[in-house]
Amino acid sequence: METISKSWQVMAMVTIKDVAKEAGVGVGTASRALTGRGAVHPDTKAKVDAAAKKLGFVPNQLARNFKMRATMCVAIIIPTVFHPFFAKIVHYCELELFKLGYRLIVVNSQDDVGKETQMLNMIRQQRVDGIIFITHYEHDDIDPNLPIVSIDRHVGSGFPYVTSNNYAASREAVKSLIDSGAKKIGCVCGATAVISGTRHRYEAYTDLMNEYGRPVWLLKPLFKHGQEMEVMREYFRQHPETDALFTGSDMLASAAYHVARERGMRVPEDLQIIGYDGVLDAWETHPKLTTVRQDVPKMAHAVVELLMNRIHGEEAPPRVEIPAALVKGETTR
């Protein structure tokens, strides 16, 4: 570690000791008065507060953190924040956490399992109070006592997680395609190494196809953000006669729209598309995607609540489900 300029540490050099002296009390009393923990006579508190104000006292959070063994920081590990779904998650988690006095540290794992492990370690050394961990991989070597929670994809050792009603919502989506008269329905859904709620999306599709005696045209590619177009091109190479498509994410759906155009297919006339997530609408993209919209604000609220339970050692449900709903856009009839 190099020497660093202590620009704003310098200006805050008035300590609780100074406040105590100014107020004519002991540091312990000053501390109790300032933090509000422990009984203090109102008059004393008033004196201390006045002294603190007069001196412009700013408590040294670093000392507090050290003493209290807490940082009031939570980290979120995601593949990348430059993805609308994760950006939305991060946005709402940050809001929730801020209300509770916590800061959110964002870490992009770039969907790399090695980096995830490395980051998990770095973050633990930094002693954040909790972690929201969103991964596509298996991590069964993580201490199950750690205050970790997840969204959608549940990490190995059974950490609590928040998810949407993937199966039911996906079923509704695919059913709507059937009802619209679509004959050749396909599905593209990212594969995940972990047992993830997202698998229920294609399972709903598969079940429904079987129930209706339709062929199952399912592609479950392992891909990273940015490769959606290639994935969809591959799908259409396999099943060019598809007339309706259900995808595991809006990004895939959007790519499907583009590939359809490349192939001269009209949407929704020749090809209907339904995505999942419901995060592109805020970006004024075209066409308005028909999609299964997850309630990200509620999910963020729930995941933060779950994390707080773990941090404070309270009982927490292993799983919270937030309903998602099909939203009609311009890519279906």
Of residues 89 through 108, those in contact with a second copy by CB under 8 A are 90-91, 94-95, 98, 103-108
Site map (CB under 8 A) of a second copy, residues 176-215, x = contact: ----------------------------------------
Based on the shown chain and the rule CB under 8 A, indicate whether residue 263 belongs to the binding site for a second copy.
no
Say how far apart CA 25 and CA 49 lie, in whole Å. 12
Tell me the two tokens of residue 190: 């990212």
DSSP state of 288: P
Q: Answer whether 142's CB lies under 8 Å from 173's CB.
A: no
Q: Does 17 bind DNA (CB under 7 A)?
A: yes
In degrees, rounded to 5, the angle at the alpha carbon of residue 164 between the alpha carbons of residues 333 and 173 is: 20
Q: What would the two tokens of residue 65 be? A: 């953190």
Q: Is residue 29 part of the contact set for DNA (CB under 7 A)?
A: yes
Contact call for residues 82 and 279 (beta carbons, < 8 A): no
229 burial type by CB count under 10 A (0-12 exposed, 13-18 middle, 19+ buried): middle
Q: What is the DSSP letter of 129?
A: S
Q: Which does 40 bind (CB under 5 to 8 A by kind): DNA, a second copy, none?
A: DNA
Of 178-186, 211-219, 254-262, 299-307: span binding a second copy (CB under 8 A): 254-262
Residue pointed to by tokens 């490349």? 262
3-state class (DSSP) for residue 75: strand
Rounded to the nearest whole angstrom, what is the least distance from the CB of residue 305 to DNA in the complex?
Answer: 24
Q: Residues in contact with a second copy, total (CB under 8 A)?
A: 78
37-76 binders of a second copy (CB under 8 A): 37, 58-63, 65-66, 68-73, 75
The reply on whether position 298 binds a second copy by CB under 8 A is no
Footprint of DNA (CB under 7 A)? 1, 13, 15-17, 24-32, 34-35, 37-41, 43-45, 57-60, 63-64, 66-68
